[in-house]
Amino acid sequence: MARKSTRGRKSHNHHQRLADQRRAHTPSAPADQGDALQELLETPAGRRALSRASPVFFDTTYCGMRAAPHRTRWLDTIDRVWQEARTTGRKRKVLFLAPRYHGKSEAGISIALRAICLDRNVRILWISEALDPAAKRLRRLKTLLRSELVLQDWCTAPDEGFGPWRDSDEDKWTSDQIYVARDLQSIDPTMCAVGAGGAVTGGHFDLIICHERGTPMLHDGEWIPVEQHPSFQGYRNSTGVE
């Protein structure tokens, strides 16, 4: 006799654990609010709505990261600045400084993944000190794009703009760039990984992520460490915003 699939049950249990964790760190709320949250957690559309409202929810749900105060501050800051930039059309910059093993790389991957999930027309450039570490971060992002939870919630509602990541030969994924199915007519990839000094002349990107302290940025025709770029001078806190 054929065995029943446990895939749906595992997914439900995962979201139930997430709901329990969120309640454990949330002040008491009326029962009807708790019921409304539970209803959102139980459907892909509801989880997409929560992801749009909260980068921390997205991070813990789809990237498997544990919430931490510094990480919450980073994600909330970049979300606010990103939305302001898109609304006003003005370029904005954010600088995160923290010791190793504080999750800066994973935070960057979470930011990029959420941007792609929420807007398939987005174009992202990831710059590392060399191509190899940049390609490793792109490989991590591709793994998350193919994960069960992401596919379930972000690739099963084509009528709402959430179909498969790839639906034609033009949606190619290589070691240094990916194209997802999108409405935008552009030669630029959805995400491109390059090393400092890589050939990106003429590219048009909505979001640029420079990975690691010392990552070079182009200024007046020269590549200089990101922390020495004039845009970030004078910041002494872990988060700098311009």
Over residues 36-49, mean pLDDT = 93
183-187, 220-224, 226-230: the lowest-pLDDT one = 226-230
- 196 or 234, higher pLDDT: 196
CB 233 within 8 A of CB 67: no
pLDDT per residue as tens digits for the range 81-104: 999 999 998 988 888 877 778 888
CB 231 within 8 A of CB 146: no
6-10, 88-92, 98-102, 159-163: the lowest-pLDDT one = 6-10
Q: Is the pLDDT of residue 108 over 90?
A: yes
∠ CA 210-112-71, rounded to 5°: 80
Mean pLDDT score of the chain: 81
